[in-house]
Structure 1
Amino acid sequence: MILWSILIGLFAAIVVGMPISFGLAAISLFIFFYADYSLTPIVSEAVNGLDSFPLLAIPLFILVGEVMSEGGIAKRLVRLASALVGFVAGGLGQIAVLTSMFFGGISGSAVADASAVGSMMIDPMKRHHYPAPLAAAIIVAASVVGIIIPPSIPMILYGVVTNTSISQLFMAGIVPGIIITLGLACTTFVQSKKIGKAQPFDLLELVKALRGAFLALLLPVIIVGGILSGVFTPTESAAFALVYALAVSMFVYRSLSAKRFFQLCIATGKLTGVVMLLLAFANVLAWLLTANMIPQQLVETLGALSDNKFVILGILTVFLLVVGFFMDLTPAMVILAPLMTPIVVKLGIDPVYFGVLMSFVLGIGLITPPVGTVLYVGCGVGKVGMEELVNSLLPFYLTLLGLLALFLAFPGLVLWYR
């Protein structure tokens, strides 16, 4: 009864356009009154859901991405990507894909990735005869890399709500992130090889671009290297990265003012408030589900369907793909990860592997209609219609689904570090 109440309530919230966090609050109150529970756990569990040091990494990484975009770091990464792959046929498309990987190694957000890279790359692509829908589609598809290459905000959320090592999740995301980048680069090559002219390879320009982007490239090295070496926790690395990005943007590149930084802090605070409210009420629901042994019941139900862990993993993957059509990544992650992780752990599936897989699947949902957040960013930045953009994305959807099948078939690609 409780699980059905939650599912029906979430569906109703989506249909009427209610913010998911408010929907979770309404569902929680309904269940507490209906089941005649004391209301005390609503407050205590909501507070407990936010009482987590790793959660501080989320606003810090969001702000790092904003500072990087505003402070000239992103432009230098674009120049470096241009020097590295601009000589390939369809070079501008390849530059966009590689820049997305660089940017994702700092921001950890697909939305920030699409917005920043799209604002810099779509107009030049149009001037070089890329159709507007294709230019936007390349940016939108490549943004998925931003939540797989560490640092990754979805992986931080997964680690917090399932008590999984965030450092191991970041480590596991490196190879899949590179593979996804290569897959999207190949698709971009096929789609755009006859468009425009590739620039000749220029070793001198590559050296200049490397010199100009050196300080920018140190940022992902600091973030990822510090975490993986054990020098920093994810939160500490985010704080250090923010100080570094501010120092470079304000005092080296001199392209970010104190006034603009204050405005970025306000915007980051608003976005963080939305995420934290969602996490608070998601934790209340998690308490309700645990108290009524819903995860154990789901394990028994799925176990009755099959005792093959790969079949169950396939069922969960298809379910997450469907969820991605109708729910944004953040609420889907904080609601479903605590439910699904006990199931896969019971079957002997590594929670780190499932965390990366879940992030990727829900990341695909970000670029699928009708509620894909990154789709709307692509439409706005690229000035194209939704139908045109989705049609241009079809080859990229096939590529991403093929890569998903690859990670399902070969878990070692994710757990490569063990």
Structure 2
Amino acid sequence: MTAALLIVGLLGLLLLRINLVLILMAAAVYAHLVWGDGQIAYFVEDVWASMDRELLLAVPLFVLVGQIMGQGEIARRLIGIIVELTRPFPGGLAMATVLSCAAFSSISGSSIVTMLAVGTVLYPALLENGYSRRFAIGALCAGGTLGIVIPPSMPMILYGIVTESSITDLFVAGIGPGLLLTGLFTLYAVLANRSKPRGRFSARALGRALRQGGWAVLLPVILLGGIYSGYFSPTEAAAVAILYAVLVESFIYRELGPRDYVETCVDAGKLLGALFPLIAVAVSINLLLTVNRVPEQLVALALAHVHDSTVFILAVNALLLVMGCFMDTSSAIVIAAPLLQPLAQSYGFSTTQLGIIMVLNLEIGILTPPLGMNLIVAMSAFGERFGFICRAVLPWIVMMLLSLLAVTFLPWIALGLLH
């Protein structure tokens, strides 16, 4: 009866569009009163314990390095090199858009930051060179989503925290799906724009771009090389990336000053102010569910009614796709991951594979109405109607669904590099 009352109350609050953090906090307090011996103090202790983790330091550090890149010159100079390399290919600027999103994603780990940083440079260039507005917006919205698949990825870090799984393993497992999706996007960009005239390759222009952007290229090399070589932990790599970005922007490119860094820190703080309370309250609820053996009960219930692992994983994909339409990525992960993890393991799916499947599903949610974040941000960034943007991303969503099915039923795409 109490569980039913809790579920009804949560659904009512969601329908009233109450802030999700407040909903989860109310649920946590109610659950502690009913199942936690009536001690609200336990809720406070759980919240404190959930935030007292070294891994959480990686989240603000990666957010901050993405903000610095987007505001300074590093992003623009990195994009300049990619544009010169792709110039002689059919649809070269379209290729450059996708590859620039992939390159920027490998540093920022953020979908919206990637879309805005690359879009600021390449959206006007695409229109000036005869590319359709629909293709340009679709490419930037979809290319931005690569930020949560290509490691280092903020959702992967969050998944690793709430499920207590290896973030490094998640990063390695994200390489294959990230390359697959980038390859599909690039192929589509070329085929859709094959009639566009090719540019002329210029060794002098490439050399100039490399001289201007050489310091920018070193940033992803240092960041990813440090993580995959095992020399840095993800948190240490993010800290090194911030130090490098500040030195380059301040003393080499001389683009950012003290006032710019204050603004950058404020912007990063706004993003984190919405994320950290969500993590704290969600982890408190997860601890309480674990103590009361709720995951074990869900496993027993699922095994009694669903006997085929294929049916299970298809149902999980369907659930996550629906959640992605109505919830942001962080909220969906902190709510669903702790409950789905034991279920997936009971059907033979590893925690790492589930994490990649979850990230791919929620990546699609960023592009699906009514609450797809890239769609909403693109409305103001590019000045287009919501319906137009939804139509622009349709072919890209189809490619993302194909990638999701491939990773679901061909697990070696994600897990091959781990063995």
What is the TM-score with the length of structure 1 in the denominator? 0.95
Residues 214-272 of structure 1 deviation map (CA, whole Å, 9 limit, x = unaligned): 22122112222112222111111111110000001111111111111111111212211
Select between 352-361 and 283-292 the one with higher mean Cα deviation: 283-292
Match of 1:139 in 2: 140
- Whether the 8 Å contact between 1:341 and 1:354 is mirrored in structure 2 is yes
Match of 2:171 in 1: 170
Match of 2:82 in 1: 81
Q: How many residues align?
A: 417
Distance 2:225 2:362 in 1: 26
Which 5+ residue runs of structure 1 have no aligned equivalent? none
Distance 2:127 2:2 in 1: 51
Amino acid paired to 1:134:
F
Distance 2:46 2:23 in 1: 17
- Whether the 8 Å contact between 1:144 and 1:360 is mirrored in structure 2 is no
Secondary structure in structure 2 of the residue aligned to 1:57? helix
Amino acid paired to 1:339:
L
Secondary structure in structure 1 of the residue aligned to 2:416? coil
Select between 101-110 and 16-25 the one with higher mean Cα deviation: 16-25
5 Å matches for 1:1-400? 8-34=8-34, 37-194=38-195, 196-400=196-400
| Cα shift at 1:16 | 2.5
Residues 285-319 of structure 1 deviation map (CA, whole Å, 9 limit, x = unaligned): 11232233221122122212333323212211111
Which 5+ residue runs of structure 2 have no aligned equivalent? none
- Whether the 8 Å contact between 2:169 and 2:352 is mirrored in structure 1 is yes
Amino acid paired to 1:385:
R
Distance 2:3 2:101 in 1: 38
- Whether the 8 Å contact between 1:85 and 1:94 is mirrored in structure 2 is yes
Amino acid paired to 2:105:
G
- Whether the 8 Å contact between 1:2 and 1:31 is mirrored in structure 2 is no
Select between 394-403 and 35-44 the one with higher mean Cα deviation: 35-44
Distance 1:153 1:296 in 2: 28
Identical aligned pairs, as a percentage?
35
RMSD after superposition? 1.8
| Cα shift at 1:101 | 0.4
Select between 99-108 and 145-154 the one with higher mean Cα deviation: 145-154
Secondary structure in structure 2 of the residue aligned to 1:323? helix
Alpha carbons of structure 1 residues 7 and 364: separation in structure 2 relative to 1, 3 Å = farther
- Whether the 8 Å contact between 2:102 and 2:150 is mirrored in structure 1 is yes
Alpha carbons of structure 1 residues 401 and 4: separation in structure 2 relative to 1, 3 Å = farther
The answer to whether 1:410 aligns with 2:410 is yes
- Whether the 8 Å contact between 2:32 and 2:42 is mirrored in structure 1 is no
Secondary structure in structure 2 of the residue aligned to 1:415? helix
Amino acid paired to 2:156:
M
Distance 2:326 2:283 in 1: 21
| Cα shift at 1:207 | 3.3
What is the TM-score with the length of structure 2 in the denominator? 0.95
Distance 1:403 1:396 in 2: 11
Distance 2:38 2:357 in 1: 36
Amino acid paired to 2:402:
G
| Cα shift at 1:412 | 0.3
